[in-house]
Structure 1
């Protein structure tokens, strides 16, 4: 149970007086159940909140749970009644009320002692009133939130052996069952799996994932869904009609939105709204503005105005509008949440045409929303959504929420001025003073063609790490593999998928000299072991014997990895000197070049070989890859 006084998890569509009641003892029931009116001198203590007054008493009274009602109806009619039920759903969807109605249906009996389990409860039975009021001796309700231990479960295990006092079944209703301890669950398993024929279990929980699967497998599970805005509006409208309360339809819409699918929350807020809007006169009409003031909501139209100012990048006007809404009583966190909700709705309008039929939007809002969604691209809406999500969290944690909200608005307005990526590229091109127009990329591949040219360079000792740099090492099936450089040896190790050897050759071997059949490497701690492994591998791969020696001379070359890093740093320095890159660095302070990829190096080398190095024009080919920058 969400509430220890058993006032939780209800669906309301009919007043509780559908069960037999004595008008003298239940004045609240007589007010709405018939023609008689409550006496004007009723005490304040006699008042019953709407959430209790309109609690359903039959399955027909329940709204929004058609699937569950249909399943239970068929089960009762066919006599296929389970011994344990699991009811799950968010707060206020009717779990406890459903459990009580189910207990009433299991124990239905007329005054003459006839009848059996049924869902047709129009005519009250002898046990119905006491069951719905949670005072029947055979219907035992336990709040697992306060009684979580194995000792509490032992009481149930001991009591299931005894027959019910007056009802047909002894029914145990355990609310918030997920809060039971592990030992309590384990103690309940055997009894739950094979209970006596006179015992039924009904569990309710808001956290179904915390219930052990061993318990779930022994129960029939029913997921009670949230009520839609349309269903809540209809429910609130009927309650207002019975309560003789005048309320504007837009105000009902606001109440339905604030309830977030919970009938109990909707009626609780309506109860508060009646007190807030009607006042002492009792004959006034509840206005939309009254609900907004009560809930701390901003005017929906003003939310559209604020959103429009943000999208225009007018920070001064946007801050003024936010401050005006705050001075009028709007909560900064609620304003940002409304902006996020509007962003989501505009995105759906752009992608789903039927989203314009949302009952939470008026006709004027639908028209304005369609206009705004048509002007805003998806990438802008997605960016605003992410920034608002982060901003809502900041406002919730800030000591002064309005200050944090204003800073979020400033960021949103600043982001609205940011150009689109395609526009930014055009601006950067124009910012490169004196930079000639970009010509087509070599071979039409934007500098990313690593094919024949890369193979050719590898044969000359230039393809240090590219797999495409490996030479054509097999002329035919019988021909011996010819290795003309140390880079060819590394490429061969990669081709043979000897990753460990390839890594050692690239990062730990300093070459002194290379000749076909003979390699001399610099001295190191692992040189001897590397020499043995490399000699064995080359003899196996090429079919010829290779002589690998270790030299202590100081003229050993850097490792291949060190050479690659030196080339990359040199290339970064060359790229940084280009006017277009300088313009990008000035436009984005703090930006840096983080990646110079092999295809870019290949493109630069190809253009240099073609003699197009005048004025740095060959570097334009580098900018086909946008991942160079962060």
Structure 2
């Protein structure tokens, strides 16, 4: 007996066997049980998610000899013939190979005849979007008012190409891509039933490689069984799929955490010697960074092993969320630009080095401090490229030019009144910090400290508050700004401000209404005041008034901006 591939052997035979499409199964089951059956159904979705499978189960439910039901018996002649593809009243049409209008007309000529064996004559048209425009026109009238014994089941991966007139005559069901856990669980069920040894990480790789398609997942499983000589182990599956060993990704994450360029280059060399799939490195790295970000957000990753969870948790605690997000963006952009690099290896190396170069200064807490692994380079002043010109030389050079070309005397209009400039406050921090500072001093301190990112936003939206406890710097945060706060950021700020102040402090936050304005509110107020002053200066300018009186000119709303330096 010939071997039957897993994708066909484990194809669902009933609605209960379907995986991950409950939003489609439920209305179909209700329609069958209540005998409220539409004459045309359209199933859409990516490849391998169950479009034709659901259509065949529906055809079997309609023609089961036990009666129309959402639970066909599966034992009568009609059910067995539908399962084996031999049921005479189930007409399956591949629209991709029968696109001409003559093929469609030939098909529709037989619609008027009653079913040969079954209760309904069912037309299953796969990839229906491939039909020509004339074929759709020929199908239109029959699809709108078919004989009572006919049902149309249409399936397509590209519903946007269907005419609106076709869509409006069908009940539409959009099938979802299956998630990794659904595919992994089904692969595990199949292997247990087949009695084949497997390793769970291998199933995770296969499920991820299936890219949302159960059929692709089962096909990859067949390939993995053959590749592994009857077993599904992680190492052979990685080799088959060309994925990167997790140990390489761990080395890269560790090197990124330590800012260790030499270790990163060594890891890239190992990839070149053993695999050479540089795009897969960025894929796996982005996946691990995504998992770290989920752990930082408090999500439980149940599909990971205890060892993987512990490893990723270490990175989640040692790297800031801002750094993880930045590394993730660099990884996915680096993969996109990999084809533009002189060669794939240099593209990967530059992407990893970019992660080091663009790392925020306060993103990682290490024993050596923020800059523990970085050698500081002090820039030396550059000598001027040309000698400075003295004022006497400038005068001597300018006099002949003035004599050679006299400037005609013209009447100049009265100069416009200068628009007030939005001046920045003087940045200074006293040697001896007294808490709490007033709102102006607090804003100046933050400017002097130059704390960026989300930490800087958190401080800018907080106002100092007096407290009776010695060494406690208390800040008030409004309800609208609580999304900026978490315990990890408070801990980072406590360490950072201790270094800035030069003595041990305890930072504390309180949610409530502040008595003084925050630096963010102060900046908004100063911007508004500068804008009002600029508007007043322009409106009172005599030249502007002259233009308005003479030419009926009007000031364009929103076009006035205060000058800033």
So what's the TM-score if we normalise by structure 2? 0.67
Q: Following the alignment from structure 2 to structure 1, what is the Cα–Cα distance between the partners of residues 548 and 291?
A: 55
State the alpha-carbon separation in 1 of the partners of residues 250 and 529 from structure 2. 55
Q: Which moved more, 1:47-56 or 1:180-189?
A: 180-189
Once the two structures are overlaid, the 10-residue window that deviates more, 95-104 or 208-217, is 208-217
Post-superposition shift, 1:157? 2.7
Partner of 1:498: 554
Q: Distance in 2 between matches of 1:368 and 1:173?
A: 50
Matches within 5 A, 1:426-575: 438=427, 451=529, 466-470=534-538, 485-490=542-547, 498=554
Q: Distance in 1 between matches of 2:75 and 2:279?
A: 48
Residue 336 of structure 1: CA displacement?
A: 0.7
Match of 2:52 among 91, 96, 105: 96
Residue 140 (1) aligns with residue 91 (2): yes
Choose which of 189, 192, 200 in structure 2 pairs with 1:238: 189
Farther off after superposition, 149-158 or 200-209 = 149-158
Deviation at 1:272, TM superposition (A): 1.0
Q: Distance in 1 between matches of 2:171 and 2:290?
A: 36
The CA deviation string for residues 195-235 of structure 1, in whole angstroms up to 9 with x for no partner, is 11111111111223332332222111222223333332222
Alpha-carbon deviation of 1:143? 1.5
Matched, 1:598 2:544: no
Per the alignment, residue 175 of structure 2 pairs with 224
Report the counterpart of residue 103 of structure 2 in structure 1.
152
SS at match of 2:109: helix
1:125 paired to 2:76: yes
| 1:137 Cα deviation from its structure 2 partner | 2.6
1:168 maps to 119
C-alpha separation in 2, matches of 1:191 and 1:453 = 68
- Asked if 2 retains the 8 angstrom alpha-carbon contact of 1:467 and 1:491, the reply is no
Question: Contact between 2:531 and 2:562, CA under 8 Å: does it hold in 1?
Answer: no
Aligned position for 2:452 = none
Q: CA RMSD in A?
A: 3.6
Q: Give the gaps of 5 or more residues in structure 1.
A: 1-26, 28-45, 110-114, 425-429, 456-465, 473-483, 507-563, 565-596, 601-621, 623-630
Matched residues in 1 for 2:525 and 2:15: separation? 71
Q: 1:446 to 1:136 in 2, by over 3 A?
A: closer
Per-residue CA deviations over 1:28-68 (Å, capped at 9, x if unaligned) read xxxxxxxxxxxxxxxxxx12211111112222222222232
1:291 is displaced (CA, Å) by 1.4
Q: How has the CA–CA distance of structure 1 residues 367 and 497 changed in structure 2, closer, same or farther, with 3 Å as cutoff?
A: farther
Residue number in structure 1 paired with 2:218: 267
Offset at 1:269?
Answer: 1.1
* 1:584-603 deviation digits (Å, cap 9, x = unpaired): xxxxxxxxxxxxx6342xxx
Whose radius of gyration is greater, 1 or 2?
A: 1
Distance 2:258 2:198 in 1: 36
2:271 aligns with one of 325, 331, 337? 325
Q: Paired residue for 1:374?
A: 317
- Quickly say closer, same or farther: Cα 1:391–1:81, change in 2 above 3 A: same
Distance 1:89 1:445 in 2: 51
Query: What is the rounded CA distance, in whole Å, between the counterparts of 1:492 and 1:342 in structure 2?
Result: 67
Quote how far apart the aligned CAs of 1:133 are.
2.5
Alignment partner of 1:218: what SS? coil
Q: Which residue of 2 aligns with 1:63?
A: 19
The residue aligned with 1:588 is none
Judge conservation of contact 1:94–1:224 (CA < 8 Å) in 2: yes
Q: TM (normalized to structure 1)?
A: 0.60
Residue in 1 that maps onto 2:467: none
Q: Is the 8 A contact 1:493 1:499 kept in 2?
A: no
1:492 shift after superposition: 7.5
Deviations 1:83-107 (A, max 9, x none): 1111112211111111111111111
Say if 1:174 and 1:204, in contact at 8 Å, map to a contact too: yes
- Deviation of 1:391 after TM superposition, in Å, equals 1.6
Paired residues of 1:312 and 1:413 also in contact (CA < 8 A): no
Q: Using the alignment, how far apart are the partners of 2:92 and 2:550 within structure 1?
A: 73
Q: 1:350 to 1:214 in 2, by over 3 A?
A: farther
Per-residue CA deviations over 1:172-205 (Å, capped at 9, x if unaligned) read 1111122223332233222111111111111111
CA contact (8 A) 1:154 1:187 kept: yes
Mapped partners of 2:81, 2:136: distance in 1 = 29
Alpha-carbon distance in 1 for matches of 2:50, 2:294: 30
Q: CA deviation at 1:244?
A: 1.8
> Aligned in 2, Cα 1:174/1:123: closer, same or farther, shift over 3 Å?
closer
Matches of 1:125 and 1:71, distance apart in 2: 25
Cα 1:79/1:329, change in 2 over 3 Å: same
- Structure 2 segments unaligned to the other structure (5+ residues): 364-369, 372-377, 382-424, 429-439, 445-518
2:491 aligned residue: none
For residue 493 of structure 1, report the CA deviation from its aligned partner. 9.4
Query: The residue matched to 1:239 in structure 2 has which SS?
Result: helix
Deviates more, 1:324-333 or 1:93-102: 324-333
**2:250 aligns to what?**
304
Does the 8 A contact of 1:96 with 1:175 survive in 2?
Answer: yes
Larger mean CA deviation between 89-98 and 210-219 belongs to 210-219
Equivalent pair of 1:85/1:220 in contact (CA under 8 Å): yes
Indicate whether 1:349 and 2:292 are aligned: no
Q: How many residues matched?
A: 421
Equivalent in the alignment of 2:138: 187
Asked if structure 1 preserves the Cα contact closer than 8 Å seen for 2:548 and 2:554, the reply is no
| Partner-residue secondary structure (3-state), 1:127 | helix
SS at match of 1:384: helix
Partners of 2:37 and 2:553 in 1: CA distance:
64
Detail structure 1 runs of 4+ shifted over 6 Å in the superposition.
417-420, 430-433, 440-444, 491-494
Specify the alignment match of 1:572 in structure 2. none
Aligned to 2:352: 409
